[in-house]
Amino acid sequence: DLSELVDLTRLKTLSVGYNSIEDFTPLVGSALESLDLTEAGLTSLYGILPTNGSLTMLELRFNSIIDLRPLSSQARLETLGLQGNPIDWALFPNGLASLATLQANGTGIEIASDLPLYLGATLTSLDISYQHTELSDLSALQAFQKLENLSFSGNSDIDWSSAPELPEESWL
């Protein structure tokens, strides 16, 4: 029960991962900047996120989230952890122009062009490891010119000739 948090108006960071929470209403009106909902049994983000767009860091690891459109209200988001969610990349929202770190390992990326190309203007760190798909073509990452850290470990079908030459990259 998060109802007691309503009175904590100065709260900026909240970690409630590994808990089964059914009512996220107290979070909707909060000014949280950092929220960790790792393994919280989530299937949807609707009615969960602060409506004022205050989040800069959001961890959603190991839930069952498919639809990321509710993230469109979080324009200040800089770090997003999606590991282990069955993401429908066609539903990735526009407008996350501050996103610098995306941890998308194990999210079912079939081809690198599944990733929204507009993220190429801001992402400095991208993890697309262990997709458990036939991910092989990385040529779409050529548009990700700000990447400094890239991990695509555990994708055994990678066509190495498709890996783009990126300035100042660090291959993990």
Q: Tell me the mean pLDDT per 10 residues along the chain, length 172.
A: 80 91 83 94 92 95 97 96 97 95 96 94 96 90 92 89 67 50
Which pLDDT value is given to residue 60? 98
Which pLDDT value is given to residue 55? 97
Phi and psi based region of residue 166 (left: phi greater than 0; alpha: psi -120 to 50; beta: remaining): beta
Which pLDDT value is given to residue 10? 86
Tokens standing for residue 69: 């459109």
86 Cβ contact partners less than 8 Å away, ≥ 6 residues apart: 64, 65, 66, 107, 108
Residue showing tokens 């990385």: 138
Tokens standing for residue 118: 């507009």
